[in-house]
Amino acid sequence: MKIAVFELESWEKQRFESLAGEHEVELVSAPLSPENAANYSDAEIVSTFIYSDLGRETLEHFQNLKMIATRSTGVDHIDLDYCCKDTGVAVANVPTYGDHTVAEHVFGLLLTLSHNLYQAVDRTRKGDFSLEGLEGFDLRGKTMGVIGTGSIGKRVIEIASGFGMKVVAFDVNPDEEFARKQGFEYADMDRLLGASDIITLHVPANEKTRNLISEAEFGKMKQGTVLINTARGAVVNTPALLGAISDGTIRAAGLDVLPEEPVIREEAELLRSVFRKHHDLESLLADHILLRLRNVVITPHSAFHTREAVERILETTVNNIRSYIQGSPTNLVNIE
């Protein structure tokens, strides 16, 4: 098999070198894109992270492609219709690898906001030890609304219980047994939005969840709500979030994801018509504004990024590739 693996850091390469004894393996640091796909067009298996473009324009370069092994849970960077319906290319993901990791990041963002840690650290580094403007708020006794109770959402609920928080959750497939065990309630979306002091998002990116939190949803929240998003940027309508921050509905926001995060540093591309065609400039502008607000903390999609979690991702991905080659594929993504 000819295997091409993209978006690799140097230390990650040894994991895939274990496949080289039996197969031809090409290890690439850059993402896969329409511009470089022709250089690897003979690959039968492709593995990427989320910053590669696995749309139709890219995939049509691969005439012998049999499998895509994404090193992520999310698959919104892959044209699943092209793979699963049009060509029969198998797509495997990593269903779980960082549930505890991402859940811990949620509370890293939340504690940064609740204790004004960013401002406090920045101030003391400059020799200013005053407390003015640093008053925070306790987590104990607050109500956390958890939207999405998959593996990450469940870990968030467990941690919230340790902080003495109340939890209300929403999920299209509620786990009532887990709710009884943890002592929280499921509610409809409207009730959750109105009852929560803090709302955290743990849903996949798809057409049903795009702009899940927009003007209407912000309008149902109480004044001074804190929003945490470690899911996907497209789940929150960024211009609507700016409006909610402006009118005080959102007191603070902790974001690990933004709708236009892969291109947010590419200002030089803004003048190109091809760029304007493929990207939402209103969201991109809103992203830039969010980066400059003192009550917004943004991390670079790094919630998953611990050594342990990445090791689990690599191990599962290599196993996915081996299993496919051996005729017993694992973790295949299916679309209805």
What span, in angstroms and rounded, lies between the C-alpha atoms of 122 and 125?
5
Catalytic residue among 15, 77, 100, 301: 301
Q: Cα 126 from chain centroid?
A: 34
Q: Are 257 and 241 in contact (CB under 8 A)?
A: no
**What is the token pair recorded at 224?**
């001074």
Catalytic residue among 77, 232, 251, 279: 232
- Clarify whether 261 is annotated catalytic: yes
Residue 44 to residues 228, 287, 311, 316, Cα–Cα distance (Å) = 39, 37, 24, 19
- Clarify whether 60 is annotated catalytic: no
Q: Are 64 and 45 in contact (CB under 8 A)?
A: no
| Phi, psi values for residue 317, rounded to 5° | -65, -45
What span, in angstroms and rounded, lies between the C-alpha atoms of 336 and 36?
31
- Clarify whether 301 is annotated catalytic: yes
Within 10 A of 152 (CB to CB), how many other CB atoms are there?
28
Residue 53 to residues 104, 275, 280, 283, 299, Cα–Cα distance (Å) = 29, 14, 17, 20, 22
Q: Among 41, 44, 2, 6, which Cα is nearest to 22's?
A: 2
∠ Cα 40 262 213 (to 5°) = 130
Catalytic residue among 217, 251, 261, 279: 261
Q: Which residues are marked as active site?
A: 232, 261, 301
